[in-house]
Structure formats: structure tokens, C-alpha cells
A and B are shown apart, each in its own frame.
Chain A
Amino acid sequence: MYRIDFNKLRFLICDDNPHMRRILRTLLHSFGAREVYEAEDGATALEMYTHYVPDIVITDWSMPIFDGLELAQMIRQPESKGNPYAPIIMLTGHSEKRRVTVARDAGVTEFLAKPISAKGLYQRIMNVVANPRPFIKTKTYFGPDRRRNTTNTYIGPERRGSGEVEILQQPSLLEKARSAI
């Protein structure tokens, strides 16, 4: 059995609603987290993301000016100076399936529909800590592999081509980002 050592994890939460930030902070501190940074809009969150290099980002979707979807897109810039690989958990009142697809296509790692529960949040955090997915980079997408399941019975068009495999090794961008502070 595994559990998460929360006191080593650094969180950034972004929500324009102060009550929801308080709830999130309470839940994360109760899990054992000590480092929880808060932003009330996407622009501030992006600045804090670069400055504090959080391990996990938890963001609302609907916010004024610069929303959670745009925040995810800004973080998922493969050429950015910051770490483009950090897990992003989208915590939102949007509860339509099509929203999940839009969030996924913006590079969001996990989607958690409100109302929030301690169990739901813990499960999402456990998922991103224990089971990170590889990242996919195409002309139009950079983010966690959107295919969570592998199946041999798929019979639709294949969006990804195959071709020759070329393997490149690069230093971890997370380490680079952290050493740059």
C-alpha cells in the first residue's frame, strides 16, 4: 500500500473565489501539505508558477481575464523557461462531458468536477503522483497522453502516424527550471 508524503509536495492553487481557495487550502493542509501557494487569477498564477515551481497545479476554469484553460495552455509551452510537465488538476463547476474534452486538449492532466470532496481530490493527486502519463507533442498538441487506455479493438481512423523511431536524451526540464531559481 502506498500513501503520499504530502509535506514534500508544493502546490499552486488558482481560484478567483476566496471560499473555494479556503476549502482547498484546508483540504491540502489536512492531507499534510505545507507548501500551498494561492493565486486568484490566471495571470498571477502563471507568475507564481514560474517563481515557485510547484509540483502540482490545481486550477479553477472560470476566472476573469485569464482563465484556467488559458493558464494550462501557457504552462504547456514546450519551449518555455518553466517546467511544462507539471500535473494540472482542473477543479471546476463545469460538469458537461464536452468540457472534459476541451480541458484535456489544453493539456490538463486530471479533471475534477465540483462539488469537491476530500476523496475526489486525494484520488486525483494520487493519480498524478503515482501514475504520470508520457507527454505527446504534435503540431497542435503538447501535454499528457490523452489515451489513458490501450485497446486492440479500436477501429477508427488512426490520428498518429508511425514511422521511424528516433530516441533523444535530454536533461530534465524540471531540474533545469529548479536550478534556475
Chain B
Amino acid sequence: MAKDNSKDKPGSIEIKSFGTHHVITQPNPLRKMLLRVPESDLDDPVGRAEKALAGLSGEFKEWMTIEADRLSAAHATVLREGFSDKTRDELFRAAHDIKGDAATFGYPSAAAAAESLCRIIEHAPDLSAVPPQLIAHHINAVQAIVRNRTKLDTAVVAGVLSKQLRGIADEFLTHANRDRPEHLEAILAPSIAPGE
């Protein structure tokens, strides 16, 4: 094993060359950003950031409405022009943004419905063969969850609605991809997204 002499010459990169690859080690340029603090240090950057995020929450309803309307607009374009690379991509991106953002904004069921729609767009062998109602139900579900969130009884209903949509979408996708094992594997693989 070669000697690690990167500490002897600060600012230099060490390259170990092997038969098929090089291993490149450089002194950690970010090391000086690490501060050693006593265990009693009371600074809590994560807690501070969570509080700041909570401070933004007054805007989440408006942001979520904008995201849901963008999804509906993308869907309206698909209905008007049919699926093309452009209309597909915009519908996917709108759904994908909701999938990623909605739980942060306090709408986890909208995120679940959007995820289900993303899976349809990504894994359906032919989007023009997807029953239009299946896509429309996802769009309507997201809109309903966002518009009715202030009603106390809607959280449970929204959760059930999203689960049912996902069940129907998965059944469709599993059947449609029965001869496409790589898609089947992706459809059935567990999510790595952090839980709620």
C-alpha cells in the first residue's frame, strides 16, 4: 500500500495509479469549515431551520394551489393536443414537483396521488392507451385534496382516496407491463423516500 503523504504537502492531490483505475485523494478543502465544539454547545442548526420552515408555512397553501393549478393546466394541454414529448414532460414535471414538495407543504396525500400519476406516465408502455379517466381521477384528486384541506374530516378521506388511486394505477401498470420485466421490477420496488 502506498504511503498517504497528502498531509505532508497541503494543497496537493495524490494520485495512485493502478492497472485499470486511479485513486485520487486530495486534502479535504472543507475541513476548515468543521468546528470542534463542547458537548454542552447549545447551538441547534437543525432546530433553527425547522423553525424557519414553520415560519414559511403560512405560504404553503398558496404554493400548493399554484402547483395543483399547474398540474391541471398541463393536463388540459394533454386533453387538447394529445401526448407528445413536450406535453408528456410538462405533465410529468408538474406531477413530480407535487410528489416531491406536497408533503413538505403539509399535503402528504396529494404527494401520494401525484406519485401514482408519475408512475403511470413513467411506466405505461403507451400513454395514449391509458384510460383517460385514470389520469383525470389523479388530477381531480390532487385538486380536491388541496382545495378541501381546511375541512377537518378530509385528511382521512384524502389518504384513502390516494391509496385507492395507487391500487388501481398499480393494477393497470402491472398488467400493462407483464412482458416488460425491467418496468415490473421498478414498479414493485419499495420507495426510498423518507417516511412521514
Contact = CB atoms under 8 A, between A and B. Distances in A.
A87 B28 CA distance: 11
Interface string A84-113: 010100001111111010000000000001
B37 A163 contact: no
In the complex, which range does the number of interface residues on chain A fall in? Answer: 35 or more
A55 B26 contact: no
B193 A113 contact: yes
A161 B20 contact: yes
Contacts of B33: 4-6, 8-9, 55, 129
Given A114-B193, A118-B53, A172 B46 contact: no
A140 to B, nearest CB: 10
B181 interface: no
In the complex, which range does the number of interface residues on chain B fall in? Answer: 35 or more
Given A118-B53, A136-B23, A169-B9, A2 B35 contact: yes
B7 interface: no
Contacts of A121: 49
A138 B16 CA distance: 12
Given A114-B193, A171-B13, A92 B24 contact: no
Contacts of A44: none
A26 interface: yes
Contacts of A130: 34
A17 B9 CA distance: 43
A82 B19 CA distance: 27
B191 A96 contact: yes
A121 B102 CA distance: 17
A148 B67 CA distance: 37
Contact of B34 (A2, A94, A166): A2
B39 interface: yes
Nearest to A94: B96
Interface string B10-46: 0111111111111111111111111111110101011
Contacts of A137: 21-22, 24
5 cross-chain pairs, A with B, having the tightest CB-CB distances, nearest first: A93-B100, A163-B19, A114-B100, A118-B49, A161-B19
Interface of B: 2, 9, 11-39, 41, 43, 45-53, 55-56, 63, 66-67, 89, 92-93, 96-97, 99-105, 111, 115, 118, 186, 189-194
17 contacts: A1-B36, A1-B37, A4-B34, A5-B32, A5-B34, A23-B53, A26-B52, A62-B92, A64-B93, A93-B99, A93-B101, A97-B190, A115-B101, A115-B111, A161-B20, A167-B15, A172-B29
